[in-house]
Amino acid sequence: MTDVSAGDYSLVGRLGVTARSSADAFVLELAPSDAVRRHGLIRASVLSFLVDAVAGIIVDDERELWTFTSDMSVRIRPEEVTGSVEAVGTVLRRGRRSSVCRVELATTPGGTAVGTGAIGFAKVPRRDGDPPKPPVTPSRFASLFGGKAVIGRPLRDEAGIQVLDAEEGVVELTVTRELRNPAGTLQGAMVALVAEAAAEELVSARFGVPAVVTDLDLRYLAQAQVGPVRTRCRLLGSAPDATVEIELVDTSVNRVTTLVYARCCEALRRV
């Protein structure tokens, strides 16, 4: 699938995700480390990677078509998770030019609901000069997960997100090789991470609370290939749980690449 890379350099390949494929299902499993948490809760952007990858892999079935995420919504419960999280996708619609899936996120063992996601994909023909696309089968992709060193630093630090203006939610990210997908553009979960960082900075700075993003709605408008990518935000309310509207801008061409709506909750303070 377009957003999964086989290279050991890929940041999303080092989040602690493994996969298994059978005749009945393709499942991704995350063993969450402290590096992918914020105030004890698994980052919404990390769970969005599970949604994006498990759904994309089961619908990406043509070698000469890129499968790009067009939109994604993720809702997660604001509760700490012990153990691993499984992602299982269901295809709701499979068309010639687009597909839609729902993904359930649950703990394992136990099956307690962690969250859910809905995601849409656009299928675009490969062009002359595009990078080669790897073979597309769930069993092939299952071998790409696991066996890689898991990140040891907080995810935002590993990605290289810089805070330019916390109260306005302005953060910036350089588009590096480690953050690109095989098609050469900023990987979808890294896009989600930038928006997540912008929302949590704005809410934390304005309200003085340990904000954690629990809701993400993303509309992918254009590819971010060069960057740096910078955010601009608008708070749609006057409380910490108000919706934050976030635009991601590729500053190299001054183009909005993603429109995001995010909501935060206040994390439990730890003594």
Dihedral pair phi/psi, residue 81, rounded to 5°: -115, 130
Top pLDDT among 225 and 77 is at: 77
d(CA 15, CA 36): 7
pTM here is 0.90
- What domain count does the chain have? 1
Indicate whether 5 belongs to any domain: no
According to DSSP, residue 169 is labeled T
Residue 128, C-beta contacts closer than 8 angstroms, at least 6 positions apart? none
- Residue 3 pLDDT class (50, 70, 90 cuts): low
What CATH number does the domain containing 235 carry?
3.10.129.10
Average model confidence (pLDDT) for the chain? 88
Q: 167 pLDDT exceeds 80?
A: yes
Indicate whether 1 belongs to any domain: no
Structural domain that includes position 142: 12-266
Least confident span in 26-35, 125-134, 235-244, 246-255: 125-134
Which residue type, as a one-letter code, is found at position 136?
V
Indicate whether 25 belongs to any domain: yes
Indicate whether 207 belongs to any domain: yes
pLDDT in tens, 54-107: 999 888 877 778 888 999 999 999 999 988 999 999 999 988 889 999 999 999
pLDDT in tens, 102-152: 999 999 877 899 999 999 999 888 787 777 776 656 666 666 666 678 899
pLDDT at 12: 87
d(CA 67, CA 10): 19
Quick check: 46 and 154 in contact, CB under 8 A? no
What would the mean pLDDT of 142-168 be, rounded to a whole number?
A: 87
pLDDT at 38: 95
Residue 177: alpha-carbon gap to chain centroid? 17
pLDDT at 13: 86
Indicate whether 195 belongs to any domain: yes
